[in-house]
Amino acid sequence: MKIKRWHIWLGVAVSAVFLWLAFQKVDFGLVWEQLKSANLAYVALGIFFYFITLILRTWRWQLLLLPIKKLPLKGLFSILSAGYMANNIFPARAGDVLRTVLLRKNDEVPISGSLATIIVEKLFDGISILMLVFLNLKQLTQFASNNSWIAFIEKSAFWAGLAFVLILLVFLGMVIMPEKAEQLSGFLVDRLLPEKIRKPVKGIISKFTDGLRILRSPLQSLLVMVISIVIWVVEAGLYWGVLKAMGFELNFQSILLIVGIVNLVLLVPAAPGGLGTFDAATKAMMEGFGFNPSDALSYTLMLRVALWLPVTLLGAFFFVKEGFSLSSDLKSMQEEYKEEDTRQHE
């Protein structure tokens, strides 16, 4: 799969720094003993919760796609799983590109329309994650004052929150006033872009706006928001399952805070699967709750395997079934479909 080289090196550099942080002050003998003694039945229960979230995510995506096309859950589930696999293995969020390509290939959904639904999906996820953080921010500030992660996390929460608010305002403008939004975008396109590409760009913007139509229904928007919150609460069941497997105890409120903070830190660009960022953030949060570095790392490693391996294997199955391989150039395929969509629009 062809990816720009600088994307790879940036991810590797960031991941190397965070991995160095994650493996500080650790007795690897104790880590190995903890991993060997883990109760895998609880890990399996946690993975079951995670697969429930995949079904919920598929349902949410189906709702977001309704204004464009009604699609069966089964097909969307396979596409979503393949996309998660690609995000876990390839850099630069290649899984999102794969999802748009598969939806265009299998169901003739325009690239810009499906891309809009994926962006909306991430917006609702971001809002849900920030809710988990802000609702438990008091608990976060009670961590040891010498934990250097606290200042980083608080600043990250502020800037991420500001970014999501700005994005939300833009989206609301496109949803509530689609005609005016298209007029404004048309005005900017006419003045900023060369004449030969103005019409295609306007067509893409029009399809993107169509992809936001689901949000014009307050009831449907509320349903998508509720599903998004439930997704993250259920995913906390995996974090709980791994805790029980390792013989550790935390209340569910604390687990929700870990889920929120870890996924907030995952916004930092890194190698595929959040390598390094996930590990450093999870270990730091566990230490903040009083666990020693070795126990914190053993929990982190078991959680990483439980989060990464099952969905990656499932997604790989669907990926190969669709006829793709490691050499597939998804970006070129996406661009070709975009050009075809543009010609159809004309």
| Whether 87 contacts 118, CB under 8 Å | no
The pair of structure tokens assigned to 258 is 């870990």
Percent of the chain, pLDDT > 70? 80
Residue 44 has pLDDT above 60, yes or no: yes
Q: Which pLDDT score, from 0 to 100, does residue 113 have?
A: 81
Bridge partners for 271 per DSSP: 275
Report in angstroms the alpha-carbon separations of 164 from 106, 205, 226.
32, 21, 18
Q: Which pLDDT score, from 0 to 100, does residue 258 have?
A: 92
Please state the three-class secondary structure of 295-320 as a single string.
Answer: HHHHHHHHHHHHHHHHHHHHHHHHHH
The pair of structure tokens assigned to 131 is 């809710």
Domain of 183 in residue numbering reads as 40-236+251-269+307-345
Q: Which pLDDT score, from 0 to 100, does residue 279 have?
A: 92
The average pLDDT across 238-254 equals 95
Closest CA to 136 of 45, 32, 236, 225: 236
| Whether 78 contacts 99, CB under 8 Å | no
Total tally of structural domains belonging to the chain: 1
Rounded-to-integer distance, Cα 289 and Cα 307, Å: 21
More confident residue, 20 or 171: 20
Q: Which pLDDT score, from 0 to 100, does residue 2 have?
A: 53
Q: Which pLDDT score, from 0 to 100, does residue 294 have?
A: 94
More confident residue, 152 or 279: 279
Q: Which pLDDT score, from 0 to 100, does residue 66 have?
A: 87
- Residue 254 identity (one-letter amino acid): S
Residue 18 has pLDDT above 90, yes or no: no
Asked if residue 226 belongs to a domain, the reply is yes
- Residue 40 identity (one-letter amino acid): L
Q: Nearest 5°: phi and psi at 275? A: -60, 125
Q: Nearest 5°: phi and psi at 325? A: -145, 180
Residue 146 has pLDDT above 50, yes or no: no
- Give 256's pLDDT tier (boundaries 50, 70, 90): very high
26: three-class secondary structure by DSSP:
coil
Q: Which pLDDT score, from 0 to 100, does residue 181 have?
A: 72
Q: Which pLDDT score, from 0 to 100, does residue 143 have?
A: 60
Asked if residue 23 belongs to a domain, the reply is no
- Give 218's pLDDT tier (boundaries 50, 70, 90): confident
158 membership: H or E segment, kind and range? helix 149-176
Asked if residue 111 belongs to a domain, the reply is yes
Tens digit of each residue's pLDDT (9 = 90 or more) over 285-314:
898 888 999 999 999 999 999 999 999 999
The average pLDDT across 223-238 equals 94
Tens digit of each residue's pLDDT (9 = 90 or more) over 100-138:
999 999 998 888 888 888 988 888 898 888 888 877 766
The average pLDDT across 210-224 equals 73
Q: Which pLDDT score, from 0 to 100, does residue 318 have?
A: 94
Mean model confidence pLDDT for the chain: 83
The pair of structure tokens assigned to 314 is 């499932």
More confident residue, 234 or 156: 234
Closest CA to 233 of 248, 250, 255: 255
Closest CA to 311 of 2, 46, 31: 46
Return the residue matching tokens 């075809």. 340
Asked if residue 152 belongs to a domain, the reply is yes
Residue 345 has pLDDT above 60, yes or no: no
Asked if residue 200 belongs to a domain, the reply is yes
Q: State the helix-helix crossing angle for 218-246 and 293-321, rounded to 10 degrees.
A: 130
Rounded-to-integer distance, Cα 64 and Cα 117, Å: 6
| Whether 15 contacts 277, CB under 8 Å | yes
Closest CA to 102 of 254, 270, 257, 330: 330
Rounded-to-integer distance, Cα 101 and Cα 108, Å: 9
DSSP 81-118: HHHHHHHHHSSTTHHHHHHHHHHHHHH---HHHHHHHH
Asked if residue 3 belongs to a domain, the reply is no
E strands of 185-272, at which residues? none
Residue 45 has pLDDT above 80, yes or no: yes
Asked if residue 216 belongs to a domain, the reply is yes
User: How crowded is residue 6: how many other Cβ atoms within 10 Å of its Cβ?
Assistant: 9
Tens digit of each residue's pLDDT (9 = 90 or more) over 70-94:
999 999 999 999 999 999 988 778 8
| Whether 102 contacts 79, CB under 8 Å | yes
- Give 272's pLDDT tier (boundaries 50, 70, 90): confident
More confident residue, 248 or 6: 248
The pair of structure tokens assigned to 228 is 């998004």
Asked if residue 16 belongs to a domain, the reply is no
pTM, two decimal places = 0.83
- Residue 39 carries which DSSP code? -
The average pLDDT across 196-221 equals 69
